[in-house]
């Protein structure tokens, strides 16, 4: 049946009629009638999804033809045309165009078919996988033909094909399971058979095959006027930091047999030869099977898989989960948990039961039912939920062809996804989404609860009497403690009430029950001695232990989190040691949901400050709640409940809230003595990470105080009147004291006001008129760079609008691009001389680091601000706009790199007391950093960052050159 006859209408969307009319106008006359008949489906799609609108506009006539035949027929022809490009295209450019157009057609067809209710998410993910397979095969066919023409092969050109190349390309992950999401990149690994007759006996196999794969990756992902095929990632190969992009099957097998890790076993569950010499691929998989599928029950694997996705997971109902900003893939109750539910049991039993070795997730669920591992109802629930969540994921990516898995942060954005899912209301969709998450959480939690009980006895753990128990020392040594006798002695001290926290008999009883979990958790950190020492320090400072030990015993995830802090996040460990009350927030059942909501954060701060009995008490309370909330945000980041981007917004929301409440209090107390200035307006203008909502756990407050007074104003009307300049200078001093002065409760924030006119030499408070004249007539280029993301965070009525208008005017001033670029480069060179990087992960200052990304974004705002049209936007958004506008095609890559850098720096600030000293960079912290940035290992992250720095440095050169060209 023709696709057109099967389409279901979508709920009406704002602008649908206009979007459809624009499409019809761009299409040829023969196509219009068909497109118009599909209008009830196409209109809402075009109005909601900019990417699909663009595809439909570019390929409207093709879409009309596709609507008039069965989608399966269209798709088969599309694949055949792409495959033919590899065999018949005369040039790489010709083949490249065929593949990119084919991908665009496939993306458009599958989106319309799925959104129109003709295909399911299952069929779309299979289609995208088939497109990826076909494109890879076509690229390799072309590479082989070109190699034969160069004389690199032992075969003539007409026999040079991917299928007899001796080079196997493996698809991993969802691509391997033929479940590729709509805008996914593809993870491939390439191994070659050095005995293959494809190459001459004396040929340099490695050189030839590496060149092919590099060329293939470039051909797949480089952007041209026709788009790109797939972003292609080759980092899942063995030891990518030191191996080329193609290695021999012998080298690969040697690696997996000697150094292969559990995460790599999981990665290879879905692996399949997807292109190239599949005979070589199948032989390799057969030889690799004993590594992936071990014969013995391997319950220790559960711990490894959990370590790859350790979350703060306090027991609570998911019904309260916030849909806005939820990560459908990695978030609680998301796709990854279903995959882990399946893969864990596959790894445990797949060695004995070959039927469990299915690649697609849903087929593996069915195999688990047949094997008696789960019941049919569980499989049915998870299958339906899996495809529901995959459908949501597809729609998130269909909007803008972004590899995103995060729900929109606004109700309007979620309403768009609800519409594309076919729901009449956003509320109905949110109910269905929360119910899906709840089902996953229930099954996932049950799995790991059972898994923990299967781990068996740890061995002797006897800490009574005065002598060490030999069996206990052996157990402790096996757990990884370097001095078991010292550990045993310390624990005996705990049991004998040596600390305040263990003096109560009930506390010691709970501690005894908790001891196996505690030691197992400490051992699992990979830094057992340091974690144990910090836990001992924690107990020394804990005034009472009954409630804490009971809590940790009953909430193993919380215990894991606490030990994680002690092993990999010394800053958080110190916070717990010195202020045990910060743990109270983690105990709150609403923590896991509320930590991501700015509204909940503001409410918590206001509720705590409301009980202040005096100004001085308010100052202390601000520090108490500030430290607690910083800890909770950092804990959410470290535990996985918050992304780095969310943590940055929350740290900023906290700073703005505290600063705003303190400023109000300062103004009230100041007015009691000095009165007010009639008609005056005052506000705080934020710069840097505060302005772009990217603050970290250790960020200072970068702001200036602006004021505006009516003409002719003499001064304030209080008991001790002050002229305007003195009034606002002293007010600023009071605010700085309220924020930065140390009290018994510590320091709230450090403040940086150097961006006021004339810097530290100028007055603390800045008159708006002086601000305007300085910025227009005297300011240096670096001061205008800072203005590109400045924003008013607190302001009296009307002042924010006035300041925003002035900044907008300053941003549109005529500038000499050559002078601007020269100034920026000189500033960067000066920074490099005066502030050289102090650590391999000093990602802010390194060449190709965060400063370079920010300078690109800020310089672009100054020179190309009108064209970019994103005033005061954060750097990542500006970088994306550079790509979207064609000013810098590498902008999308730079935005991705900015996200990785920001994630790393957020974690470094949250976890380490001094991020630029090696002491805190333990194995546990490195593993945490890799997990939280979604890398399988720290080595992979480290290697990738080195490549990113090079990409940024190269892109910066290209960017500045283009700015000089105009």
Question: Burial letters for 76-106: b for 16+ Cβ neighbours within 10 Å, e otherwise?
Answer: eebbebbbebbeebeeeeebbbbbbbbbbbb
Average pLDDT, the chain: 88
Hey, what are 216's tokens?
């293939």
Q: Is 960 in contact with 825 (CB distance < 8 Å)?
A: yes
Spatial neighbors of 150 by CB under 8 A, at least 6 apart, are none
Rounded to an integer, what distance in angstroms lies between the CA atom of residue 183 and that of residue 905? Answer: 27
The neighbour count for residue 522, using CB atoms within 10 Å, is 25
178 φ/ψ sector (left φ>0, alpha ψ -120 to 50, else beta): left
Hey, what are 782's tokens?
């670096």
Instruction: Give the confidence band of 296 by pLDDT, cuts at 50, 70, 90.
Output: very low
Instruction: Give the confidence band of 558 by pLDDT, cuts at 50, 70, 90.
Output: confident
Question: CA dist 593 to 414, 596, 636, Å?
Answer: 18, 6, 10
Of the listed ranges 386-390, 444-448, 948-952, the one predicted with least confidence? 444-448
More confident residue, 929 or 330: 929
442 φ/ψ sector (left φ>0, alpha ψ -120 to 50, else beta): alpha
Helix (H) or strand (E) run with residue 149 in it: helix 121-150
Q: In the prediction, which pLDDT does 308 show? A: 40
Rounded to an integer, what distance in angstroms lies between the CA atom of residue 141 and that of residue 361? Answer: 30
Of the listed ranges 469-483, 551-565, 896-910, the one predicted with least confidence? 551-565
Rounded to an integer, what distance in angstroms lies between the CA atom of residue 765 and that of residue 59? Answer: 58
Spatial neighbors of 883 by CB under 8 A, at least 6 apart, are 889, 890, 891, 892, 893, 895
pLDDT of 451 higher than 60: no
Instruction: Give the confidence band of 506 by pLDDT, cuts at 50, 70, 90.
Output: low
Most confident segment among 159-168, 339-348, 778-787, 920-929: 159-168
Q: In the prediction, which pLDDT does 309 show? A: 39
pLDDT of 161 higher than 50: yes
More confident residue, 904 or 579: 904
Q: In the prediction, which pLDDT does 668 show? A: 94
More confident residue, 134 or 918: 134
Question: Burial letters for 371-382: b for 16+ Cβ neighbours within 10 Å, e otherwise?
Answer: eebbeeebbebb
The neighbour count for residue 222, using CB atoms within 10 Å, is 12
Q: Is 437 in contact with 426 (CB distance < 8 Å)?
A: no
639 φ/ψ sector (left φ>0, alpha ψ -120 to 50, else beta): alpha
Hey, what are 395's tokens?
């729609």
More confident residue, 514 or 708: 708
* Angle at 788 (CA atoms; ends 786, 792), nearest 5 degrees: 85
CA 374 from centroid of its chain's CA atoms: 32
pLDDT of 936 higher than 90: no
Rounded to an integer, what distance in angstroms lies between the CA atom of residue 416 and that of residue 396? Answer: 9
Of the listed ranges 20-24, 152-156, 569-573, 585-589, the one predicted with least confidence? 585-589
183, HSE (Cβ side, Cα atoms, 13 Å): 19
Q: Is 681 in contact with 796 (CB distance < 8 Å)?
A: yes
Q: What is the pLDDT of residues 218-254, one digit of tens each?
A: 999 999 999 999 999 998 898 777 789 999 999 999 9
H helix runs in 675-767, sequence order: 688-691, 724-740
Q: In the prediction, which pLDDT does 457 show? A: 57
The neighbour count for residue 720, using CB atoms within 10 Å, is 8
Q: Is 272 in contact with 303 (CB distance < 8 Å)?
A: no
Spatial neighbors of 498 by CB under 8 A, at least 6 apart, are none
pLDDT of 32 higher than 90: yes
pLDDT of 310 higher than 50: no
Percentage of the chain exceeding pLDDT 70? 90
Q: In the prediction, which pLDDT does 547 show? A: 62
Instruction: Give the confidence band of 566 by pLDDT, cuts at 50, 70, 90.
Output: confident
Spatial neighbors of 23 by CB under 8 A, at least 6 apart, are 35, 42, 46, 53, 56, 57, 60
Q: Is 370 in contact with 105 (CB distance < 8 Å)?
A: no
Spatial neighbors of 772 by CB under 8 A, at least 6 apart, are 806
Q: Which has the closest alpha carbon to 246: 284, 190, 198? A: 190
Q: How many angstroms separate the first and last alpha carbons of the chain?
A: 53
Mean pLDDT of 161-185: 96
Most confident segment among 353-357, 703-707, 711-715: 703-707
φ, ψ dihedrals at 70, nearest 5°: -65, 140
- Give the three-state DSSP class for 852: helix
Q: Is 686 in contact with 872 (CB distance < 8 Å)?
A: no
Instruction: Give the confidence band of 922 by pLDDT, cuts at 50, 70, 90.
Output: confident
Instruction: Give the confidence band of 318 by pLDDT, cuts at 50, 70, 90.
Output: very low
């Amino acid at each position: 049946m023709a696709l057109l006859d099967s389409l279901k209408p979508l709920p009406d969307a704002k602008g649908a009629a206009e979007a459809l009319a624009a499409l019809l106008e761009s299409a040829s006359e023969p196509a219009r009638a068909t497109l118009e008949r599909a209008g009830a489906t196409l209109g809402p799609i075009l109005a909601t999804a900019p990417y699909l609108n663009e595809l439909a506009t570019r390929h409207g006539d093709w879409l009309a033809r596709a609507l008039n035949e069965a989608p399966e027929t269209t798709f088969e022809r599309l694949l055949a045309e792409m495959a033919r490009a590899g065999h018949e295209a005369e040039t790489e450019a010709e083949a490249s165009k065929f593949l990119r157009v084919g991908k665009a057609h496939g993306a458009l067809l599958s989106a319309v078919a799925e959104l129109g209710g003709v295909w399911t998410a299952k069929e779309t993910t299979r289609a995208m996988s088939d497109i990826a397979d076909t494109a890879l095969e076509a690229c390799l066919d072309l590479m082989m033909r070109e190699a034969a023409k160069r004389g690199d092969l032992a075969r003539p050109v007409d026999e040079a094909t991917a299928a007899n190349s001796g080079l196997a390309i493996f698809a991993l992950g969802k691509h391997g399971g033929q479940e590729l999401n709509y805008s996914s990149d593809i993870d491939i690994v390439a191994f070659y058979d050095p005995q293959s007759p494809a190459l001459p006996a004396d040929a340099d196999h490695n050189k030839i095959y590496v060149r092919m794969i590099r060329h293939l990756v470039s051909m797949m992902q480089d952007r041209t006027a026709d788009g790109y095929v797939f972003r292609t990632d080759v980092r899942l190969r063995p030891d990518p930091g030191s191996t080329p992009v193609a290695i021999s099957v012998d080298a690969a097998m040697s690696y997996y047999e000697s150094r292969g890790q559990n995460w790599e076993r999981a990665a290879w569950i879905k692996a399949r030869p997807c292109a190239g010499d599949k005979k070589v691929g199948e032989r390799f998989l057969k030889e690799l099977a004993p590594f992936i599928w071990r014969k013995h029950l391997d319950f220790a694997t559960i711990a490894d898989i959990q370590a790859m996705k350790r979350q703060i997971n306090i027991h609570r109902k998911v019904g309260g989960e916030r849909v806005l900003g939820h990560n459908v893939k990695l978030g609680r109750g998301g796709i990854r948990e279903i995959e882990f539910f399946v893969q864990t049991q596959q790894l445990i039993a797949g060695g004995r039961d070959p039927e469990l070795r299915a690649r697609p997730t849903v087929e593996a669920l069915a195999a688990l039912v047949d094997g008696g591992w789960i019941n049919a109802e569980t499989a049915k629930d998870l299958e339906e939920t899996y495809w529901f969540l995959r459908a949501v994921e597809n729609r998130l990516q269909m909007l803008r062809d972004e590899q995103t898995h995060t729900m929109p942060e606004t109700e309007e954005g979620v309403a768009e996804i609800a519409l594309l899912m076919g729901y009449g209301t956003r509320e109905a969709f949110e109910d269905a989404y929360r119910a899906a998450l709840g089902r996953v959480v229930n099954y996932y939690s049950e799995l790991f609860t059972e898994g923990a009980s299967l781990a068996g006895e740890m061995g002797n753990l006897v800490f009574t009497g005065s002598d060490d128990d030999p069996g206990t020392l052996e157990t402790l040594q096996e757990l990884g403690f370097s001095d078991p006798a010292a550990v045993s002695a310390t624990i005996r001290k705990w049991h004998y009430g040596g600390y305040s926290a263990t003096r109560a008999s009930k506390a010691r009883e709970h501690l005894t029950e908790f001891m196996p979990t505690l030691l197992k958790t400490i051992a699992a950190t990979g830094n057992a001695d340091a974690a144990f020492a910090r836990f001992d320090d924690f107990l020394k400072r804990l005034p009472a232990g009954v409630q804490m030990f009971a809590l940790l015993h009953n909430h193993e995830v919380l215990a894991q989190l606490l030990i994680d802090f002690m092993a990999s996040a010394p800053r958080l460990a110190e916070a717990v040691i010195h202020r045990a009350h910060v743990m109270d927030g983690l105990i709150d059942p609403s923590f896991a949901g509320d930590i991501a909501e700015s509204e909940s954060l503001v409410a918590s701060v206001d509720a705590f400050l409301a009980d202040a009995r005096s100004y001085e008490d308010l100052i202390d309370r601000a520090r108490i709640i500030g430290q607690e909330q910083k800890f909770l945000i950092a804990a959410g980041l470290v535990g996985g409940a918050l992304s780095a981007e969310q943590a940055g917004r929350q740290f900023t929301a906290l700073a703005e809230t505290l600063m705003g409440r303190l400023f109000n209090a300062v103004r009230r107390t100041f007015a009691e003595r000095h009165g007010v200035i009639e008609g005056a307006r005052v506000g705080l203008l934020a710069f840097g990470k505060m302005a772009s909502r990217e603050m970290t756990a250790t960020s200072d407050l970068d702001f200036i105080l602006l004021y505006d007074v009516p003409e002719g104003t003499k001064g304030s009307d209080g008991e001790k009147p002050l002229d305007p300049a003195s009034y606002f200078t002293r007010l600023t001093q009071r605010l700085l004291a309220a924020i930065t002065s140390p009290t018994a409760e510590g320091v709230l924030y450090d403040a940086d006001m150097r961006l006021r006119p004339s810097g530290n030499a100028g007055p603390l408070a800045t008159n708006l008129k002086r601000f305007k004249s300085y910025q227009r007539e005297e300011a240096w280029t670096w001061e205008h760079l800072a203005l590109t993301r400045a924003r008013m965070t607190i302001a009296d009525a009307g002042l924010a609008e006035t300041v925003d208008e002035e900044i907008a005017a300053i941003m549109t001033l005529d500038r000499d691009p050559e002078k601007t670029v020269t100034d920026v480069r000189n500033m960067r060179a000066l920074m490099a001389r005066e502030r050289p990087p102090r650590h391999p992960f000093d990602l802010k200052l390194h060449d190709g680091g965060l400063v370079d990304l920010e300078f690109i974004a800020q310089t672009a705002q100054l020179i190309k601000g009108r064209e970019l049209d994103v005033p005061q936007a954060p750097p990542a958004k500006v970088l994306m706009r550079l790509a979207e506008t064609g000013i810098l095609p590498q902008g999308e890559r730079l935005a991705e790199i900015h996200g990785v850098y920001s994630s790393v720096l957020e974690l470094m600030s949250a976890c380490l007391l001094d991020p630029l000293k090696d002491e805190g960079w333990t194995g546990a912290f490195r593993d945490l950093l890799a997990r939280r940035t979604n890398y399988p290992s720290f080595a992979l992250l480290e290697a990738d960052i080195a490549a990113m720095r090079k990409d940024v440095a190269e892109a910066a050169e290209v960017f500045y050159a283009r700015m000089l060209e105009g």
